[in-house]
Structure 1
Amino acid sequence: MRDASILLRLVHEAMLAMNVNVAEIYQQCGITLDHIEDKKARLKHRANTKFWQVAEAVTGDHSIGLHVAEHVPLYRGQVLEYLFLSSQTFGDGLNRALNYQRLLSDVAQSYLDVNGEQASLVFDTALGDEVDHHFIECIIFGVIRFFKSITQDQFSPSMIQLIFDEPSNKAEYERVFQCSVEFNRPKNVIVFPSAILEFQSQHAEPDLIDLHQEVAQAHVEKIEKQDLVYQIRQVLSEHLDKKEVSLELVAQSLGLSPRSLRSQLSALDTSFNQVLSEYRTFLAKRLLERTQEPVEEICYLLGFSEVSAFYRAFKRWTGMTPIEYRKTILDSECV
């Protein structure tokens, strides 16, 4: 389960506006500014959970997610916004955007439920009540603010339902969300009048809808590639030093046939050998940079049977030998 870095970047900007000591939070949870500024990054959700736990401890605010939400900048300029704007109605845009929700997070499988005059946007979290309530509160408030901007402030929730236990400051939640809030519910839900689904977009561009969907789908395919590569890397990390690495072994570990794995990688414009090579490059650099392990030991940890083969491969990857690369790193640290 991973979340797009933009979610953390928006929270970062909100905390700066609140004068929260973000440096202390990042130091304690292992997040860096590189994680926040990398627009293509997707962070493991457990890192997000750790972030909120530390944020609560540092600020002493048990409702830090709720209060940060009030300061989170409006989500703008992403392909999901373009899908809404180019659609004929708000409802059309919402249904299209739900097809690409993975662009923001893998945690919630959201869907729209319309029943007469009432509509519900349901956040069906794959992790159940393991999802941190601060994260959910921020997401829901951010979604409401985004919907208001898309509908010229016409969108207004009539109720918020949350899976968490009712807090002592329930009134604070109703102040922030500007509607009634119910707790201990089966799912996290934004309830709103269904009439708003017919709100006409002033920026509707039917000719651009297909283009925006193509862009969104391309982004999703990149995420799928990252997911599969990540799973392969997990298997490689367990078997590299045992010299048992092969496409057949990895496929078996992932519950796939070799043909299926090869086909999936090909569809994502990569191959097993490319993934293996990229992972070995990453691991070799990391070991050379962060450890004093002899090059010969690193060679065997990466699954090479001969040191000469490792030298040739590393030179092909970086243009330097392992010794030269390590010396370059040491020299840069001394400057």
Structure 2
Amino acid sequence: MSERTTSSSWALGIVQALEMGGVDCRNLFPELGLDYQALNDPDARFPQDGMTRLWLRAVELSGNPAIGLNMAKVVRPASFHVVGYALMSSRTLKEGFARLVRYQRIIAEGADLSFYGTPEGYELRLSIHGDHLPPARQSAEASMAYCLAFCRWMTGRPINPLEIRFQGPAPKDLEPYRQVFQAPLRFNAEHCALLFSRTDMDTQLPTANESLAQLHDRFAGDYLTRFSGTRVTHQVRQVLCRLLPQGEPKREVVASLMHLSQRTLQRRLQEEGVSFQQLLDDTRRELAEQYLAQPKLTLLEIAYLLGFADPSNFFRAFRRWFGSTPGEYRAGLE
């Protein structure tokens, strides 16, 4: 069975954050069936559920439910694997976040990121998915704390978000959250998200370098292809991208093009923790973001390119994905 995994680079950042909080990970790893030495192998991957158990035991051992926020103190580009360097060589934070969304599966497969314009500014939305175990809230808190600290470190400026949203209830002690985020906090929100002003997202990065950005794009793209190529999920996405302009692809057609029976396709997708319908929805959402960034494409053309026979279905799906209309989203990109 194919499990979601986390890169050793991100796992090492988590371990440093936990050790800073007094957790002895060298002894804890064998207890959880994890290989401590593999943290130094840049190509190693750790199972998502193993990382969830690590967070839960760390909270138990430290007595500190806010231990994930320590990630803000271990900022270094390598924690994001090659993606960190691709982000740094981008022209602006906005361009950097687009790269982060594109390549985030390299860092951790259990995370889904989306980034889009809103009437107030920009929203970086995060969803963490568990495998067999529900994800630990510390995982999302660590990701958001690290992401914001990385932005501040790259720009050398005190980036203060408009709002930080958390899915869970408010913790008893809010002080660590106030210190790390220095922004209004909202709990019991529908999604975990960081909301930024347009000014902050248009900040030019002092490390910007177009040639390096292209080089890192190639490295990240190659890694993603190598890493994803063996997965049925990746192969189905490629088939869907090819079929969508001809209308909504049927599962039996996709299975036939992959020389699989429908039942085998369904089982193999299930083993990778995804359904055909969810994959179709995710692929359409990702393509919608790419198409809307191309000003020459009309909204009607985009609806048909995404396989929607009726444009009103596209508008409904888009509002579900991003909480805004395609027109509002596109205006936010300008």
Secondary structure of the structure 1 residue equivalent to 2:77: coil
Specify whether residues 205 and 21 from structure 1 end up closer, same or farther in structure 2 by C-alpha distance, changes over 3 A only: closer
Where 1:186 maps in the other structure, the secondary structure is coil
Measured in 1, the distance between the counterparts of 2:219 and 2:59 equals: 37
Helix, strand or coil for the counterpart of 2:127? strand
Retained in 2: the 8 A contact 1:163–1:186? yes
Could you list the per-position Cα deviations for residues 126-177 of structure 1 after superposition, in whole angstroms to 9, with x for gaps in the alignment? 4599321111111111111111122222422232111112221123322232
Contact 2:71 2:145 in 1 (8 A): yes
1:221 aligned residue: 225
- Residue in 1 aligned with 2:191? 187
The equivalent residue for 1:98 is: 101
Q: Distance in 1 between matches of 2:175 and 2:158?
A: 24
CA spacing shift, 1:209–1:172, aligned 2, 3 Å: closer
CA RMSD of aligned residues (A): 3.1
For residue 182 of structure 2, what is the aligned residue in structure 1? 178
Q: TM-score, normalised by structure 2?
A: 0.63
Q: Which has the higher contact order (CA 8 A, sep 6+)?
A: 2
Q: Is 2:43 aligned against 1:40?
A: yes
Matched residues, number: 241
What is the identity percentage for the equivalent residue pairs of Structure 1 and Structure 2?
A: 21
Contact 1:112–1:121 (CA under 8 A) maintained in structure 2 = yes
Query: Do the aligned partners of 1:74 and 1:145 also contact (CA within 8 Å) in 2?
Result: no
Match of 1:69?
71
Mapped to 1, the partners of 2:96 and 2:14 lie a distance apart of 25
How far apart are residue 226 of structure 1 and its match?
5.1
Q: Which residue of 1 aligns with 2:310?
A: none
Structure 1 position 160 matched with structure 2 position 171: no
Task: Note the 1:131-142 alignment, pairs <5 A.
Answer: 131-142=135-146
3-state secondary structure, aligned to 2:216: helix
Once the two structures are superposed, what CA deviation does each residue of 1:255-302 show, in whole Å capped at 9, x if it has no partner?
Answer: 499xxxxxxxxxxxxxxxxxxxxxxxxxxxxxxxxxxxxxxxxxxxxx
Deviation at 1:210, TM superposition (A): 2.8
Structure with greater Cα Rg: 1
Q: What is the alpha-carbon distance in structure 2 between the residues aligned to residue 211 and residue 99 of structure 1?
A: 15
Residue 56, structure 1, aligned to residue 59, structure 2: yes
CA–CA distance in structure 2, aligned partners of residues 18 and 171 of structure 1: 16
Query: C-alpha separation between the residues in 1 aligned to 2:129 and 2:30?
Result: 28
Whole-angstrom distance in 1 between the partners of 2:135 and 2:11 = 15
Look up the match of 2:210. Answer: 206
Q: 1:196 to 1:106 in 2, by over 3 A?
A: same
- Measure how far apart 1:99 and its partner are: 0.9
Compute the displacement of 1:254 (Å).
3.8
Separation in 2, partners of 1:63, 1:207 = 39
User: How far does residue 16 in structure 1 lie from its aligned partner after superposition?
Assistant: 3.2
Aligned residue in 2 for 1:146: 150
Task: Provide the C-alpha distance between the structure 1 equivalents of 2:27 and 2:90, rounded to a whole number of angstroms.
Answer: 43
Amino acid at match of 1:41: A
Q: Gaps spanning 5+ residues in structure 2: where?
A: 234-257, 269-334
Change (3 A) 1:210 1:71: closer
Q: Which residue of 2 aligns with 1:253?
A: 264
SS in 2 for 1:99: helix
